[in-house]
Chain A
């Protein structure tokens, strides 16, 4: 089956620093990847849609300059949280859309827990 990995699985950083999270599709090419944020005991909130070779599309209320997304290849998208603050602490999940899948299904990564001190 389609596998999506995320790295790192958890990261702790100091306030004001930047953190990069990688999302990789391991056995398929993903022209589209998605980044979600999930607060404890809440649902997934879509932050942005990442398209290979073009700029990401951000959801309303998501700061583009705070959450930088790069989708430079068909198997890799990165999310960089710039100048992180404690309120950015959250669980970040990526998913990748397999265009060859009949249902254009999204496959999810295992998530990254970010803690900003």
Chain B
């Protein structure tokens, strides 16, 4: 079974600054995907970024980037130039490449302050 751990329940950041969210996971699988999802106050889950385990290059989507350390089973999310609209819960998630189920971490609440 896979587990996903987010050790930071809450983080705050000033607008335009950078914040990094931590995520570690445990698995015996070799081929998998990792995701970061955003859940704003509307509660709609939005995919922020995905990383394939077989890719060494870290994924980037505009202001969002990840630091994927496969050997350490670590998958952190960096939000650059934080905006007020980034205020949300962020969930790290794992899925076996050939599988269906997503395993979510406990979430990190991010508050962007003006």
Contacts and interface: CB of A to CB of B under 8 A. Distances in A.
A108 B101 CA distance: 13
Contacts of B50: 103, 105
Nearest to B92: A43
- Which 3 residue pairs of A and B lie closest in terms of their CB atoms, listed nearest first? A108-B45, A43-B104, A110-B44
Contact of A49 (B33, B100, B104, B109): B100
B102 A106 contact: yes
B42 A110 contact: yes
Contacts of A79: none
Interface of A: 32, 34, 38, 41-44, 46, 49, 91, 93, 95, 97, 103-106, 108, 110-111
Nearest to B37: A108
Interface of B: 33, 42-47, 50, 91, 100-102, 104-107, 109
Given A49-B101, A97-B100, A43 B91 contact: yes
B92 to A, nearest CB: 10
Question: By DSSP majority rule, is chain B's interface helix, strand, loop, or mixed?
Answer: loop
Contact of B100 (A32, A43, A93): A32
7 contacts: A43-B107, A44-B45, A46-B102, A97-B100, A103-B50, A105-B47, A110-B42
Given A103-B33, A103-B50, A108 B104 contact: no
Given A43-B104, A46-B102, 12 more contacts: A32-B100, A34-B100, A34-B101, A41-B107, A41-B109, A43-B106, A44-B102, A49-B101, A105-B50, A108-B44, A108-B46, A110-B42
